Structure 1
Amino acid sequence: MIIRDRLFVGGRWVAPNTPNLLDIRSPHDQSLLGRVAQAGDADVDRAVEAAREAFDHGPWPRTEPAERQEIIRRWNKLREARADEIAATISAENGSAGWFTRMGQPFLTRQVNAYLRAAEELRWEEIVEPSDPSVSFDTIVRREAIGVVAAVIPWNSPFSAATAKLTPALLAGNTVVLKVSPENSLSMMLLADLFAEAGLPDGVLSILPADRETSEHLISHPGVDKIAFTGSTRAGRRIASIAGEQLKRVSLELGGKSAAIILEDADVPAAVAGLRFGSLANNGEACILQTRILAPRGRYEEIVGALKEMVESLKVGDPAEPDTFVGPMIRADQQQRVISYIELGIAEGARLVTGGPRIPVGLERGNYVTPTLFADVDNGMRVAQEEIFGPVLVVIAYDDEDDAVRIANDSEYGLSGGVWSATDERALAVARRLRTGTVTVNGSPMSFDGPFGGFKASGIGREYGKLGLAGYLENKTVTRNH
């Protein structure tokens, strides 16, 4: 069992304001994994004060961009060296299957490298050529850090969410208070260890496990200049209202209910094999998953049958076992939430193809849900409109491409999506019509060089690459006479 009784505040390990430690239990069998300090409002105040001092008077914002980039490279190398330990820790505390947490480690490297390239290529200060040749002054545009960033991330993919915010914020010269979920206390303390070893100056970074009430204290803090949030749309609306009242910069990566359109000419076995990952990765606990499967009426039962076979082939069990594909939900209340949606789908009249509200036999001690597939789903049903955040898929029939696009866009969300076709050109034509932030064609992976974020209720702002870095910078114009 691991004991972490200190908090990482301003780059130093300090005693928390309250000495009570939180028990971290395995979602697989409820065994005790560790006990970790949790932050309260007073700890947040200390962290923001340290970040404010480091930004206003410390060296970090005034350090050359190349020096900041070197520290991020050092941190990335340190993380790569402990990739197996990180993956195993996330699997233990989150219930994420080992294949998923291991696969995610190289993705983190790609994510950081994309931000580093954006920082290397950015013109931090430039003279802009005048549009009017008669002007007698220079226009200088500078990119400067915003200030103190409050970054708040969810529990489902902690290292990825933390990396998406910390990397650009720090490269830009900001100081950061990262609020993480209590469920991720063990893995996020590893993250703190790595940044401490990388050599950030004092005050630049704090990492605080804390509850929702403490999160609101952080984002409402007058010492915070920008809020960067990943989580539910409901929480995002609350955060946006606080940011609006205080005129803070804000970026929100929120929920999704993404559609995968299987076109009439698609290779169905290939599409279903791809959706195994694109719709059910991380136990279904991921905002980008394509959990609405849109199938043409002429091949509807063929697609439903192939999806049934795929879903039933997935091994559910201990996330530490190498052949497990679906592990437990992170908490018992999340397990019950998903089961209640399965019961709702049955009550709404959807056809239960496989799965159901029963807990898998032999796994009753854990927070397990049986992977479930619904057919004959109308897009107006709640199971087709609301984010379930578990291993539950719905299959919706469509008449033609126009109908498929209409159904896909008939959602309050717009985070992700996918199109499957025998030709990339046809798939691209459909992808261009979808009102969503990211679309994959024939199961292609997501890009870390392009922007990631949502349309509609799926968020505000973008992460990854050049636009992700730009979200942590202010643009200043300076003019001077010739």
Structure 2
Amino acid sequence: MFNQPKQYINGAWVDSHSQETIAVINPATEAAFGTIAKGNAQDVEDAVQAANNVYLEFRHSSIDYRKQLLDGIVSEYENRKADLIEAMTLELGTPVTAAENVHYEMGLAHFKAARDALDDFQFQERRGNNVVMKEAIGVAGLITPWNFPTNQTAIKLAGALAAGSTVVLKPSEETPFAAIILAEIFDKVGVPQGVFNLVNGDGMGVGNPLSEHPLVRMVSFTGSGNTGSKIMEKASADFKKVSLELGGKSPFIILDDADLEAAADAAVHKVVDNSGQVCIAGSRTLVPESQKEAFIEQVKAKIQTINVGDPQDSSVNMGPVINEKQFNQVQEFIKIGQAEGATLEFGGEGKPEGLETGYYIKPTVFSNVDNTMTIAQEEIFGPVMSILTYSDLDEAIKIANDTKYGLAGYVYGKDMETLQYVATSLEAGVIEINEAPRSWDLPFGGYKQSGIGREWGDFGIEEFLEVKSISGFFN
């Protein structure tokens, strides 16, 4: 069993004021495998006060010192690789190969990217005898989701530490143990007391009091649009800065000159990776009307090779979804898709054969999807592909942008001029051409209802800074 009934506050593991715990469920077995503290408002108060007590001192810490801290975190993170992989496989149900090659690596990359960004980051700019300064905003409340336990926490923590901001972290109670290991890493490295604080618990007990606390000057949240909207509304009471990374319904546009087999393979992985629990999942697949049938056949051939099963099995490439609630939600979307007239090409309702225990879902493909259908407009957060068709490029772009979201977009084809035209026409913050790998110093964030602000690298550092001008700073 994994057990951590304490909170990490002011550089020490301390008892939670609630004296209550939360069971953490393994989604592959539906059984509890650990417990964490169920924090309350007093735990949040202690953590925020600890962060507030040292925020000026940490704001004035040197860039070299913060580089050393991040270097130490990177080194100890690498030492804890096996522990992080084990925790994520158990708490998220991600296949062990993905836990190692995706989740673990993403967290590591973000700590490295923030450290490297400090080599060139300008916190001061001289203008005559005056100076423009960027300085840490103060205490930041970080609220992270369950779908990427190391990636989402590392993005926020790395940016905040590089900026010189003190933090209180509330990870998801569904996947808390990767964050607990990060706390152990920070403790061993010697992150100063009060600079980093971890309060486990649920949204009502910890998330709400953290986002509303008057000493918290900035809230960085990743999660659902509904929760993000509430955080933004509450933040307006005392004009907190907010950074929100929310949902998506991203288009995957296949051009008429694309290699259909390669495009189908890419499109399938954009909806089944991490069991579809990805905010940038390319869940709306747009294909030329003339190539629809050929593309569907390629998709069927590719998706039936996805091995769904026990995350501990190294041959498995798709595990369960996170919990019963998420399982039921995805099942409901599959029902709605059929009821609204989409054609079920593969998968469907229920669990895959032989996987009665665990929150496993059949990888599912719909064709003949109209962009007004629920499955084309709402974020499903499960392994469900909706195939839409278009007659020309202008229609493809119009369909792609016809959504309340604007987080990501994908374009697949051969003619570079056309690829560039489509990429620059999409209303989204993250665009990928032909599966080109993303550099860790590129900004990440969305348009419209996909959020406010940007993360990753130097853009992630900027989120935790305020701008100050001082006249007569120099003789």
TM-score range, shorter chain: over 0.9
1:300-449 equivalences under 5 Å are: 300-449=292-441
Structure 2 counterpart of 1:165: 156
Q: Give me the whole-angstrom Cα distance separating, in 1, the residues matched to 2:134 and 2:118.
A: 11
User: Alignment length, in residue pairs?
Assistant: 472
Does the Cα contact within 8 Å between 1:254 and 1:459 map onto a contact in 2?
yes
Displacement after TM superposition at 1:113 (Å): 2.2
The one-letter amino acid of 2:186's match is F
Displacement after TM superposition at 1:50 (Å): 0.6
Q: Give me the whole-angstrom Cα distance separating, in 1, the residues matched to 2:461 and 2:20.
A: 37
Which of 52, 60, 63 lines up with 2:61 in the alignment? 63
Displacement after TM superposition at 1:371 (Å): 0.8
* CA deviation map 1:6-39 (0-9, x unaligned): 1111221001112222222211112331122221
Q: Relative to structure 2, which stretch is displaced further, 362-371 or 381-390?
A: 362-371
Q: Give me the whole-angstrom Cα distance separating, in 2, the residues matched to 1:102 and 1:417.
A: 26
Structure 1 counterpart of 2:98: 100
Q: Relative to structure 2, which stretch is displaced further, 113-122 or 315-324?
A: 113-122
Provide the TM-score with structure 2 as the length reference: 0.97
Flag the 1:33–1:224 CA change in 2: closer, same or farther, 3 A. Answer: same
Does the Cα contact within 8 Å between 2:271 and 2:385 map onto a contact in 1?
yes
Which of 121, 141, 144 lines up with 1:150 in the alignment? 141
2:214 matches 1:215? no
Does the Cα contact within 8 Å between 1:417 and 1:440 map onto a contact in 2?
yes
Displacement after TM superposition at 1:230 (Å): 0.4
Q: Give me the whole-angstrom Cα distance separating, in 1, the residues matched to 2:35 and 2:110.
A: 31
* CA deviation map 1:47-103 (0-9, x unaligned): 0111111114xx322211110111111011111222232122111111112222211
Which of 84, 87, 110 lines up with 1:86 in the alignment? 84
Does the Cα contact within 8 Å between 1:7 and 1:38 map onto a contact in 2?
no
Displacement after TM superposition at 1:205 (Å): 0.9
Does the Cα contact within 8 Å between 1:424 and 1:441 map onto a contact in 2?
no
Moved runs in structure 1, 4+ residues, more than 6 A? none
Q: Give me the whole-angstrom Cα distance separating, in 1, the residues matched to 2:106 and 2:174.
A: 22
Structure 1 counterpart of 2:251: 259
Structure 2 counterpart of 1:73: 71
* CA deviation map 1:246-298 (0-9, x unaligned): 20011100000000000000011111222233222111001011010000011
Q: Give me the whole-angstrom Cα distance separating, in 2, the residues matched to 1:434 and 1:304.
A: 24
Structure 1 counterpart of 2:176: 185
Q: Give me the whole-angstrom Cα distance separating, in 2, the residues matched to 1:212 and 1:239.
A: 11
Displacement after TM superposition at 1:442 (Å): 0.5
2:241 matches 1:249? yes
Does the Cα contact within 8 Å between 1:251 and 1:459 map onto a contact in 2?
yes
SS across alignment from 2:318:
coil
In structure 1, the gaps of 5 or more residues are 130-137
SS across alignment from 1:313:
coil
Does the Cα contact within 8 Å between 1:66 and 1:120 map onto a contact in 2?
no
In structure 2, the gaps of 5 or more residues are none
Q: Give me the whole-angstrom Cα distance separating, in 2, the residues matched to 1:445 and 1:193.
A: 31
The one-letter amino acid of 2:25's match is R
Structure 2 counterpart of 1:140: 131
SS across alignment from 2:17:
coil
Displacement after TM superposition at 1:181 (Å): 1.0
Q: Give me the whole-angstrom Cα distance separating, in 1, the residues matched to 2:250 and 2:22.
A: 35
Q: Relative to structure 2, which stretch is displaced further, 108-117 or 457-466?
A: 108-117
Q: Give me the whole-angstrom Cα distance separating, in 2, the residues matched to 1:313 and 1:7.
A: 43
Structure 2 counterpart of 1:134: none
2:6 matches 1:10? no
Does the Cα contact within 8 Å between 1:88 and 1:320 map onto a contact in 2?
no
Q: Relative to structure 2, which stretch is displaced further, 11-20 or 334-343?
A: 11-20
Q: Alignment identity in percent?
A: 36
Q: Give me the whole-angstrom Cα distance separating, in 2, the residues matched to 1:195 and 1:338.
A: 37
2:20 matches 1:20? yes
Does the Cα contact within 8 Å between 1:97 and 1:283 map onto a contact in 2?
no
* CA deviation map 1:100-130 (0-9, x unaligned): 221122333332222222222112222125x
Structure 2 counterpart of 1:133: none
Q: Relative to structure 2, which stretch is displaced further, 173-182 or 465-474?
A: 465-474
Q: Give me the whole-angstrom Cα distance separating, in 1, the residues matched to 2:373 and 2:232.
A: 28
Does the Cα contact within 8 Å between 1:271 and 1:443 map onto a contact in 2?
no
Displacement after TM superposition at 1:446 (Å): 2.3
The root-mean-square deviation of aligned C-alpha atoms, in Å, is 1.3
* CA deviation map 1:296-326 (0-9, x unaligned): 0110111111112212211111111111111
Q: Give me the whole-angstrom Cα distance separating, in 2, the residues matched to 1:139 and 1:60.
A: 24
SS across alignment from 2:54:
helix
2:199 matches 1:200? no
Q: Give me the whole-angstrom Cα distance separating, in 2, the residues matched to 1:87 and 1:274.
A: 25
SS across alignment from 1:183:
coil
Does the Cα contact within 8 Å between 1:150 and 1:228 map onto a contact in 2?
yes
Does the Cα contact within 8 Å between 2:37 and 2:201 map onto a contact in 1?
no
Provide the TM-score with structure 1 as the length reference: 0.96
Does the Cα contact within 8 Å between 2:149 and 2:176 map onto a contact in 1?
no
Q: Give me the whole-angstrom Cα distance separating, in 2, the residues matched to 1:194 and 1:158.
A: 15
The one-letter amino acid of 2:124's match is E
Which of 208, 221, 237 lines up with 1:229 in the alignment? 221
